[in-house]
């Protein structure tokens, strides 16, 4: 079998331009992730502040009416309101955990994508260095196997991260359900 042309393809094929384009893409990705995280944090804070303000206002108005119209129920209302406030706090805690977890996952996805782009450049350079058809086939097989292994590893990692996050998010809510069950089971007994 005839050897392939051994011209230095790294200069002819414009690898420098390709690397520059990949680097620009990575920088754009990093900026987009940063902007997304900032927007997410602002939206979470604004919604948490609005809910807290609304809850506090509704509580104050209701408390005033209960004290005015049903003074004998005031203590039970305060107990009920405190319990509800703990539930709202648990919901905010779960939201904060979800928010932080999603930020972590976004960082991991961005890092994975950046690494994948770098590997793409390295793979292109490796392919340009082959001199025979057999080297081409061997290199393509090696690169395809590596890409498949990285995809499986990345998918597994992201799945595990998501399951862990889901469990962490539900913890504060499960604690509240347990307390409610205990409280109202005792009251019913």
Q: Mind listing the pLDDT tens digit for each residue in 66-83?
A: 888 888 888 888 888 888
Q: What is the DSSP letter of 36?
A: H
Residue 68 corresponds to which tokens in the numbers above? 């005015």
Q: Mind listing the pLDDT tens digit for each residue in 73-122?
A: 888 888 888 888 898 899 999 999 999 999 999 899 989 988 998 898 88
pTM for the whole structure = 0.70
Q: Mind listing the pLDDT tens digit for each residue in 141-156?
A: 999 999 999 999 999 9
Higher pLDDT, 11 or 172: 172
Helix residue spans in the chain (DSSP H): 9-12, 15-69, 74-128, 133-188
Q: Mind listing the pLDDT tens digit for each residue in 35-74?
A: 888 888 888 888 888 888 888 888 888 888 888 888 888 8
pLDDT value of position 38: 85
pLDDT value of position 34: 83
């Amino acid at each position: 079998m005839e050897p392939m042309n051994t011209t230095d393809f790294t200069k002819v094929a414009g690898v420098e331009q390709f690397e520059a384009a990949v680097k620009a893409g990575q920088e754009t990705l990093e900026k987009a992730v940063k902007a997304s995280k900032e927007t997410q944090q602002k939206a979470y804070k604004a919604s948490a502040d609005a809910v807290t303000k609304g809850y506090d206002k509704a509580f104050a108005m209701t408390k005033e009416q209960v004290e005015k119209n049903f003074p004998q129920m005031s203590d039970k209302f305060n107990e009920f309101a405190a319990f509800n406030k703990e539930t709202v706090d648990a919901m905010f805690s779960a939201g904060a955990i979800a928010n932080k977890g999603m930020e972590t996952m976004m960082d991991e996805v961005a890092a994975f994508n950046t690494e994948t782009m770098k590997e793409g450049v390295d793979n292109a350079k490796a392919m340009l260095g082959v001199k025979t058809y057999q080297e081409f086939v061997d290199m393509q097989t090696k690169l395809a196997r590596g890409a498949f292994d990285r995809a499986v590893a990345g998918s597994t990692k992201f799945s595990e991260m998501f399951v862990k996050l889901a469990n962490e998010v539900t913890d504060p809510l499960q604690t509240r359900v347990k307390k409610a069950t205990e409280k109202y089971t005792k009251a019913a007994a």
